Structure 1
């Protein structure tokens, strides 16, 4: 990989931090705002330069279509450099996770109840920002503008707490929903990423509300 400029390193760190904190990369507008650029176009130019240098991969057509790539560029076929030493990795089949796919969730029952499991998938753990516990089939288009679409498989790490800005899976009475989390005092807002949908507001003491987990990645079938 070609050497990065100081600004490119800064943007790469910003992308990495966003993925670690929220499970998703930032939008061009968020990068521009964070770094004081006048427009999202300036951020796009830096992202294209990072892609040309092999630091990231850009998926066209989505505002958050940015994926970090292996920075070593050594094509090591099953080994990784760590602390200056080369270590052998286990066979990929050993490293794979087996994750249950959760379909429709029955009212009042745990999200990981056996009757909700439609299938089990073996997946590469390196696809995710943190180790997930299950995959949830996304229904609807309320998160369309950050690239989470109907039928996608959202990788979820079980958690009953979240930070502002994270994408969460929440239970509201009989429904399970995917939204962006925001808490101000005792008010919790579950924010859509599609202007056709309204935010959901609940009190943190509402017994019908519960956090089920944090989004840590996304899988999509192209057929």
Structure 2
């Protein structure tokens, strides 16, 4: 078994397997570089292409981090039950429900341990209103569907058919959605819908 792999290909394959088993999703190219002692991301891309050509892995065209171990031997196969795909919501179209099919861009695999008793989805971030807490333009935030919030929670709120991520505060006569950006003013409103709470963040590192 693995007779068609050289030493470095096997090292990368087993490193990917180890990371998938421990964190539920595959490593980035830079993580592979560090893990197997390579300096060039282009070298890793070359090894991944060869592993894919030999049928050991499958890379997603949509997600840089997603690699699936394809070898069918039990010691190398990632069990489907270890992960579950959750929807990735892109830019929300005005006037359409946020979970409408036209708003779902893709899916993302996360460990089943994170989804226990939770209804989760991911949302792509547009803009820099939350940069003070490290949520950047182009990031993906992991959101748990909820309809209520307490002061200080980071929420996804719907206002006039527009979804926004802000810190939530209920004041005496209105709601305040506070950005985490010193150059932006809060949104003051009497009418909003809480869609969920931000509970995690994913960022491509390559």
Give, in angstroms, the shift of residue 211 of structure 1.
Answer: 1.2
Alpha-carbon distance in 1 for matches of 2:199, 2:115: 6
Q: Is 1:213 paired with 2:200? A: no
Alpha-carbon distance in 2 for matches of 1:118, 1:127: 21
**Structure 1 92/192 Cα, relative in aligned 2: closer, same or farther at 3 Å?**
farther
Alpha-carbon distance in 2 for matches of 1:104, 1:167: 19
**Structure 2: segments with no counterpart, 5+ residues:** 1-77
Residues 101-147 of structure 1: CA deviation (Å, up to 9, x unaligned) = 00011112211111101001111255689835210000101000101
**Structure 1 184/122 Cα, relative in aligned 2: closer, same or farther at 3 Å?**
same
Alpha-carbon distance in 1 for matches of 2:116, 2:127: 24
Name the TM-score, length of structure 2 as normaliser.
0.58
CA contact (8 A) 1:132 1:216 kept: no
| Structure label with greater radius of gyration | 2
CA contact (8 A) 2:96 2:161 kept: no
Secondary structure, counterpart of 2:102 in structure 1: helix
Q: Who is 1:189 aligned against?
A: 176
Name the TM-score, length of structure 1 as normaliser.
0.54
CA RMSD in angstroms, aligned pairs only: 2.0
Paired residues in the alignment total: 129
**Structure 1: segments with no counterpart, 5+ residues:** 1-90
Q: Who is 2:105 aligned against?
A: 118
